[in-house]
Chains A and B, each alone.
Chain A
Amino acid sequence: MPAGGWRARLRNGDEVAHLMALLFGLTLALLTTLVAFELVVNSSLARHRFGWSFLTGQTWDPVADQYGAAPFIYGTVVTSAIALIVAVPLGIGAALFLAELAPRRISDALTLVIELLAAVPSVVYGLIGVAVLVPLMRQYVQPALQRVAGSIPVFTGPAYGVGYLTAGLVLAIMIVPFIVSVVREVLLAVPREQREAALALGSTRWESTARVVLPYARLGVFGAVFLALGRALGETMAVTMVIGNRPEISASLFAPGYSMAAVIANEFTEATGNLYLHALVEIGLVLFLLTMIVNAFARILIVVTTRRGTAA
Chain B
Amino acid sequence: MKTRIGFVLTLAAAAVACSGKPGEPPSASTPSSGARVSVTGAGATFPYPLYSKWFDEYHKRHPGVEINYQSQGSGAGVRQMLAGTVDFGASDMPMTDEQLGQAKVKVLHFPTVLGAVVPTYNVAGITQDLNFTPDALAGIFLGTIKKWNDPAIARENAGITLPASDIVVVHRSDGSGTTFVWTDYLSKVSPAWKLRVGSNSSVNWPVGLGGKGNEGVTGLVKQTPNSIGYVELLYAVQNELAYGAVRNAAGTFLKADLAGVTAAAAATAATMPDDFRVSITNAAGPDAYPIASFTWLLVPAHIADQNRGKAIVDFLQWMLADGQSMAAPLSYAPLPKEVVAKERQTIAQVHVGS
Contact = CB atoms under 8 A, between A and B. Distances in A.
A245 B211 contact: yes
B209 A270 contact: no
Most buried by B among A64, A158, A269: A269
Interface in B135-157: none
A245 B219 contact: no
Interface stretch (A55-63, A94-102, A174-182, A183-191): A55-63
A268 B175 CA distance: 7
A245 B176 CA distance: 14
B168 A160 contact: yes
Contacts of A115: none
A63 B198 contact: yes
Interface stretch (B18-26, B68-76, B309-317): B68-76
Interface in B116-142: none
B70 to A, nearest CB: 11
Nearest to B197: A63
B200 interface: yes
Interface string A143-179: 0000000000000001011100000000000000000
A32 interface: no
Interface in B167-215: 168, 173-177, 197-205, 208-212
A64 B202 CA distance: 11
Contacts of A268: 75, 175
B201 A241 contact: no
Contacts of A138: 223-224
A240 B224 CA distance: 17
A261 B200 CA distance: 21
A253 interface: no
Interface in A228-275: 240-241, 244-247, 256, 258, 262, 265-273
A175 B166 CA distance: 36
B220 interface: yes
Contacts of A241: 212, 216
Kindly state the interface size class of chain A when it binds its partner: 20 to 34
Contacts, number: 94
Interface in B87-108: 93, 96, 98-99
Contact of B209 (A60, A256, A273): A256
Contacts of B72: 269
A273 to B, nearest CB: 8
B203 A130 contact: no
A66 B55 CA distance: 39
B202 A267 contact: yes
B208 A246 contact: yes
A63 B173 contact: no
B203 A63 contact: yes
A272 B99 contact: yes
Contacts of B224: 138, 160-161
Q: Chain B: interface secondary structure?
A: loop
B220 A272 contact: no
B37 interface: no
B204 A60 contact: yes
B204 A269 contact: no
B78 interface: yes
Given A161-B223, A266-B212, A272 B174 contact: no
Contacts of A63: 197-200, 203-204
A267 B175 contact: yes
A270 B173 contact: no
Contacts of B166: 158
Contact of A64 (B74, B177, B198, B210): B198
A64 B204 contact: yes
Given A161-B224, A162-B209, A272 B204 contact: no
Contacts of B223: 130, 134-135, 138, 161
A252 to B, nearest CB: 14
A254 B9 CA distance: 39
A270 B203 contact: no
Nearest to A256: B209
Contact of A61 (B78, B79, B176, B203): B203
A62 B212 contact: no
Interface string B211-249: 110001001100110000000000000000000000000
A201 to B, nearest CB: 57
A246 B205 contact: yes
Given A266-B175, A270-B75, 5 more contacts: A63-B200, A247-B204, A262-B173, A267-B174, A272-B93
26 contacts: A59-B204, A61-B204, A62-B200, A62-B201, A62-B204, A64-B198, A130-B223, A138-B223, A160-B168, A160-B209, A160-B224, A162-B209, A240-B173, A244-B209, A245-B173, A245-B209, A246-B208, A247-B204, A262-B173, A266-B174, A267-B174, A269-B73, A269-B174, A270-B202, A271-B175, A272-B93
Interface of A: 59-64, 130, 134-135, 138, 158, 160-162, 240-241, 244-247, 256, 258, 262, 265-273
Interface of B: 72-76, 78-79, 93, 96, 98-99, 166, 168, 173-177, 197-205, 208-212, 216, 219-220, 223-224
The 4 closest A-B pairs by CB, nearest first: A270-B175, A245-B210, A269-B73, A245-B173
